[in-house]
Structure formats: structure tokens, C-alpha cells
Amino acid sequence: MAKYSRSAGKDVKRAMHRRKKGSLKRGKGGKGGTVKSKKQAIAIGLSEARKKGKKVPKRKSAKRKSAKRKSAKRKSRI
């Protein structure tokens, strides 16, 4: 079974093309600067696909990172 729908792949492809053309912007409403990174362009394409309701896996949660931070804080107190 495929993780991503074919149309989600097309959204990513479209975002990569917009990045290459220089019209892909970052931030809320595209008010930020132009996107330089390929990884960021892929992430934007996937989030656009999610908003349209296409088959894309959920984002990985940041639970793991926060647990590491808490343990680091505990160690620094000692």
C-alpha cells in the first residue's frame, strides 16, 4: 500500500518547480523570503497536499525532543 497518493506527489513536484523558478515563498501567506532549500520545498508541497485532504502521512510529533530537553534540564540542575 502506498504511503502517499499520486496527486500528493504532483503537489510536491509543483512546489519544487516553483522553488526553482523563485516564486515559492516561506511563512504565513508566503510573506517571507524565497525558499532556497530542496527539503523545505518538499515540506511545503506536502503541507499543501495535507491541506487539500490528499493521502499523506501525519507529521512526526515533537514529543521525543521535549522529553530530551526535560532530561537535559534535570541533569543540569544536579
Taking only the tens place, the pLDDT of each residue in 26-57 is 887 777 889 999 999 999 999 999 999 999 98
Taking only the tens place, the pLDDT of each residue in 59-68 is 887 666 566 6
Is pLDDT larger for residue 55 or for residue 75?
55
Q: pLDDT tier at 20 (50, 70, 90 boundaries)?
A: very high
Per-residue pLDDT, 41: 94
Cell of 29: 501567506
**N-to-C CA span, the chain:** 49
Contact 45, 15 (CB under 8 A): yes
Cell of 30: 508566503
